[in-house]
Amino acid sequence: MLILPKHEKQIDWSFSYINQPINSEWATIVSGDRKKVTLVDRNFSPKYEYQLPDEISCLAISPKGDLLAAIMANGNHLAIMTAENQLVFEEQLPNPPVKYFLDNENGFQDCWFDADGLRFWCMKLIEFKEVEIQIRDTNSWQIQRKLRLKDPIGGYSTFSFHPHPENQILALWAACGQNGQQIYWLYDDGTTIHAVEVPCLYDTSPPQFHPAGDEFLVIDSSERQLSRFSFPECNLMGICEWPWPDSDDGFDYSMCYLSDDRVLINTNEGLMYLIDLNKMEISDQLILIGHEPRSCKELYPTLKDLKEEVCGDLNYFYRFDSDRILSVHSQILTQEPDSKQKTLVIFGGKELFGSLATVQESAPYSKLFIQSLGIS
């Protein structure tokens, strides 16, 4: 399937998207020195600019876009800023400086604003052995509740939040490279933070939830298998196997539901494929005009030891709103794949999207999960 991009923009900065719900209006662009954040709307028009005092490791935007939470100094510094660049809260840890974010054994790991704007979730690693989940009130920024979890993989894991569409449950993903990954469901009942380990989700990617919240997708650690599960029961609904066993390519973590029965996913080599969820198999390749696949040697001529395979300039993509996708591409043929120079592309249309159930106000799937905890 050939798709003509609706809008393109070249930037000389790095790009970071905040994983808001499907109806989010915001994305963020982070400057090359990782100290300035520009909040842009769906047309890439600037809304707010935040200037931070140190390099950003992780950030989160409030639902209205008027507050930015940033983890800086490789995990040693948490700060909350207003759109007028006023500091409203900060906490600096008394840790020795480390060169890399992943080297900090006692640092902040991730943060997230609840959709209601009243709670701020944060997590802090403790001696590479435990992670402390914190919930702070957004008026006082004081910790209201917290929970400690042992590292499920034995130490040195990194942790990240991945929200369920009904905005009542967060997935917590623990990852330790080739040593394994584990997923928990987190729920705050206003008194206690509950954490439920999901046994069937060991050695997988973070969950990609259907916009209605009744199912999710994960990729296994070999990146050759895409699995579909129900939520909250976690019953296996199907498996899509990578169809080319002799290829070095495989499924990558960018994916989104285009309809109730079709998914778009990227690959390690920068290609995009459509998955038929009824058959759980690849049904077509999606190609953006102007970003057609090429020989890997042609696309990245400065890299050595490349095989004679086809690849694309795609880095990753995100569902931007109900009928558009935002993709990030390498900008020029001669650059390294991790260059900060990028091209942002928005694409979509009726030929790509289909009927897609949306989240219900009554949050039925979260209620099922909460009932399983024995909470009325």
Q: Over range 322-346, report the average pLDDT.
A: 74
Confidence at residue 19, expressed as pLDDT on a 0 to 100 scale: 47
Q: What 3 state SS string does 237-293 have?
A: EEEEECCCCCCCCCEEEEEEEEECCEEEEEECCCCEEEEECCCCEEEEEEEECCCCC
pLDDT value for 248: 87
CA–CA gap between residue 324 and residue 109 (Å, rounded): 30
279: Cβ contacts below 8 Å, ≥ 6 apart: none
**Higher-confidence residue: 248 or 334?**
248
**Is 25:9 a contact under the CB 8 Å cutoff?**
no
Q: Which of 40, 41, 33 is nearest to 14 (CA)?
A: 33
Model confidence at 18, pLDDT cuts 50, 70, 90, reads: low
Q: Is the pLDDT of residue 100 over 90?
A: no
Kindly state the average pLDDT of the residues 183-204: 93
Residue 21 pLDDT level (bands cut at 50, 70, 90): very low
Indicate the average pLDDT of the chain: 89
pLDDT for residue 180: 85
Asked whether residue 8 carries a pLDDT value surpassing 50, the answer given is: yes
Is a pLDDT exceeding 60 seen at residue 149? Answer: yes
Does the pTM surpass 0.85? The reply is yes
Residue 39 · residue 84 · CB < 8 Å:
no
